[in-house]
Structure formats: C-alpha cells, structure tokens
Structure 1
Amino acid sequence: MFKSSFWSSFYPSFICFLIILVGSILPSSNVKEIEISDKLLHFVFYAIFSFFLFLLSHKETLCLDTLIKKWTFVFTVGTIVGLSIEFIQYTLIPSRSGEWLDILANSVGLITMLSSIYLLKRISVL
C-alpha cells in the first residue's frame, strides 16, 4: 500500500503538518472538548507525522542514503515543527499555552514510530 510514489511524496507529510498546525493554533474555545488526553493526541499525531516524513526521506533528491541520515532528518524536522508550534502557542495565541510536556509527548511519538519502523524493517515487514 505504501509503495506508491504518492506516499513517499511531500504531500502526506504536508497534509499531516497542516492538520497538526490547525489543531494547534485554533483558539481552545473553538476546539471541541474530547475525552482523550491531549498528550496522547500529541504522541499519535507526531508518530503519524514521523511515519510520513520517513517515507519522504526515501526520495533520492534528499540524498539521505543511510538509515541514520533518514532518522536524523525525521527527528530534526519533527522536533523543529513541535518546538515552533509550542513557541507560537506560548507567544502569539492568547487562549493557548505552550507546554514542555507537549514537546516531550511529540518527541516520544517521533522516537516510538522510528523505533517501530526500524523493528519492522529488521523483520522484513517494511
């Protein structure tokens, strides 16, 4: 399913980024109250985002020829996005607040997905 060139293109990562961005900058009064921990949402969305970034890292134009370079790319982009959004929430959006635990949940989501991808590649599932 993920062998199609669409999945390794820029679009899935960008769409996931837009979903994260819009969900993060909407005033909290516009966001429906949900019963799920917001840290769990951070974890899940950044795990999905890192999966699409990992697929994107296979593009030859990025010149990421080793697994370490791909992981570094995914973790760096994901971390910069997460930090930037938390900074924007802290400084520019009065009804939102940036939190260190959100950054931690984002990072754990990134690392968990990268570790899962590594294990799945080791057993030849991916």
Structure 2
Amino acid sequence: MPTTGVGRALKTKKLTPKFIRPYQIIRRVGPVAYQIALPPNLANLYDVFHVSQLRKYVADPSHIIAPNDIQLKENLTFEVPPISIADRTTKHLRGREIPLVKVIWNKMTGDATWELEENMRELYPDLLDTS
C-alpha cells in the first residue's frame, strides 16, 4: 500500500509511490478499486484504493504463521490450561468464608482471573499442590 511519510499522509490524504507494507484486501469495491484493511494509525485515510496504487504481493516465508494444534470441542470452544497460581485470598460473604485463587492463564498477555479454590483444586489438583 503506497503512502508518503505517515505524518504527511495523515494530513493531506495524498499518496506517492512509496510502499509501506502489505495489507489485507477486504473486498473489491468496483472494477478497479479495492478496500484495504488499514491499521489504526492510518484510520483517517480513505480505505479504498485504485488498482494502480497497489502492488502485487510477493510471498515471503517469514509472513507465514504456523497454526497451533488446538483441539476444539463440539460447541467450537477450546480449553486453555492455567499456567500458575499468582495469589490467594478469602472473601467474606454473609458470614461465610470463600477461598479464592488468582489464576494466570497466559503469561504473555497477562490474562488472569479470580477463581474458586475448590473448583480449581477439582479441575487442576497438580496446580494447587505445587504452590
């Protein structure tokens, strides 16, 4: 997809023959126009381009993303195993004490939730015995 420097492109919405990188074509708008999926930093550019402003994509092995082997259930969901237990607390509710554990699901994204210790002990006994 062509553009001048990002700052100038955002101000003038005019493009020059410099190419940034490949973008996905969302749909064909007309016989010679295509709608392109632009990133948020180019959101105020019009996303439909004439075919003369586009280059043919040249395959690059580094652009291939290997899919993970995910086992889907019948309802098209999948189970993510917990990584570790980060914290423990006890919630007091109407005179009852409810033990909770903070479960880390993905270290890279920081996904964590508070779960009932009883449920986690039942589903993942090895996780609670080691921490």
TM-score tier (shorter): under 0.3
Q: Choose between structure 1 and 2 for higher RCO, CA contacts under 8 A separated by at least 6 residues.
A: 1
Q: Structure 1 length as normaliser, TM-score?
A: 0.21
Which of these two proteins has the greater Rg computed from alpha carbons?
A: 2
More strand by share: 2
Q: Structure 2 length as normaliser, TM-score?
A: 0.21
More helix by share: 1
